[in-house]
Amino acid sequence: MNFICIKTMLVAAAAMVSLSSFSQDLLARQAPIDRKLKSVDSLALQRQIRAEQAAYPAFSLYPSWNTEYAHVYGRNTIVPETFTFDLRGFCMPTPSRKITSPFGPRWRRMHNGLDIKVEIGDTIRAAFEGKVRVVKYEAKGYGNYIVIRHNNGLETVYGHLSKQLVEPDQVVKAGEIIGLGGNTGHSTGSHLHFETRFLGIAINPALMFDFPHQDVVADSYTFRKSEDRMGSTAFASAKSNDVERIIKYHKVHRGDTLSKVAKVRGVSVSKLCELNGLTKRAKLKPGQVLRCS
């Protein structure tokens, strides 16, 4: 009787060992399959994310895609503390170098962009690649205007156009013609009203675009939520006489020297060195950004 019990126990133990080995073997064979499935799922997810990003530029930043209104971001919009915009691959919206009205307070209200002198019918181009969000007319404001959301996180606004040559949801490349200069809406003469915005917050375009020199100020620009909007948009108020002065910048080009930059910008070499923490013997590097006022 004891022998039968012992034999039964041995058979059961052998079965358990065999089952355990089979289970381990099954798990071992299943592991590569699981990895493959995870890989497939990951690729599918990546494809979906890429599709969404292509459909809606800066998809991870913006809460919505609205083709009816330029300003749709309220106080509940989540704005990151800092964000760096890649300004490479840009195109100047117009070859015009003349700024007729800067960013800042004007006529007891805020002027949220730059006014650049253009004639009616002049070509206006997309500043960066992206997707057209709004193509509308606003009689008491922008006139015929276009809003484009770009892959780098910026939105650009082009106002007072005589004609719009794109449609909402149209994908555009940097430099692609989007409209013609005009004098529509609340305007006292033909010009391009150009804005750069981030999640609805207006940023001085002069911090990024150097219209007089037809270039970007630098290859990137870092937005900081904590900064005062006037301070971060390169404006300072001279409280003694309430005169606004624009803080000017210069992007160094090959061959530039301190004396050459000082002459072009109308500032002394000593002042240029003081503003930028340089010595008079400092050598400038192409792409370096200097404060000039």
- For residue 264, what is the domain's CATH number? 3.10.350.10
Query: Tens digits of per-residue pLDDT, 52-71?
Result: 656 789 988 998 899 999 99
User: What pLDDT band is residue 271 in, cutting at 50, 70 and 90?
Assistant: confident
| DSSP secondary structure letters along 95-147 | S---EEE-SEEETTEEE-SEEEE--TT-EEE-SSSEEEEEEEEETTTTEEEEE
Examine the pLDDT at 8 and tell me if it is beyond 60. no
pTM to 2 decimal places: 0.66
- Residue 175 within any structural domain of the chain: yes
Q: CA–CA separation, 162 vs 56, rounded Å? A: 27
Are 226 and 86 within one domain?
yes
Beta bridge partners of 104: 111
More reliable by pLDDT, 89 or 36: 89
Are 147 and 225 within one domain?
yes
Examine the pLDDT at 216 and tell me if it is beyond 80. yes
Q: CA–CA separation, 37 vs 232, rounded Å? A: 48
Mean pLDDT score across all residues of the chain: 82
Tokens linked to 159: 């106002």
Dihedrals φ, ψ of 37, to 5°?
-65, -40
Domain range for 145 is: 82-238
Query: Tens digits of per-residue pLDDT, 218-255?
Result: 899 999 887 644 433 333 222 223 333 445 677 788 88
Dihedrals φ, ψ of 260, to 5°?
-70, -45
Q: Which domain-ending residue is among 238, 264, 280?
A: 238
DSSP H or E stretch at residue 46: helix 2-55
Dihedrals φ, ψ of 45, to 5°?
-65, -40
User: What percent of the chain is modeled with pLDDT above 70?
Assistant: 75
Query: Tens digits of per-residue pLDDT, 90-145?
Result: 999 999 999 999 998 877 788 999 999 999 999 999 999 999 999 999 999 999 99
Q: List % helix, strand, coil for the chain (3-state, nearest 5).
A: 25, 30, 45
Q: CA–CA separation, 230 vs 245, rounded Å? A: 11
- Residue 171 within any structural domain of the chain: yes
- Residue 8 within any structural domain of the chain: no
Query: Tens digits of per-residue pLDDT, 92-101?
Result: 999 999 999 9
Judge contact between 157 and 113, C-beta under 8 A: yes
Burial of 32 by CB count in 10 Å (0-12 exposed, 13-18 middle, 19+ buried)? exposed
More reliable by pLDDT, 285 or 23: 285
Query: Position of tokens 């100020």?
Result: 217
What is the DSSP-derived secondary structure letter of residue 205?
Answer: G
pLDDT for res 32: 66
Examine the pLDDT at 205 and tell me if it is beyond 50. yes
CATH number at residue 135: 2.70.70.10
Dihedrals φ, ψ of 51, to 5°?
-65, -40
- Give the three-state DSSP class for 204: coil
More reliable by pLDDT, 140 or 47: 140
In the chain, the number of structural domains is 2
Are 143 and 233 within one domain?
yes
More reliable by pLDDT, 36 or 263: 263
Identify the sign of the CA torsion 189, 190, 193, 194: negative
Examine the pLDDT at 9 and tell me if it is beyond 80. no
Q: How many CB atoms lie within 10 A of CB 256?
A: 17
Q: Which domain-ending residue is among 238, 264, 282?
A: 238
Please give the single-letter amino acid code of residue 217: V
Q: Which domain-ending residue is among 195, 213, 238?
A: 238
Are 272 and 154 within one domain?
no
Q: Quick one: average pLDDT of 162-172? A: 97
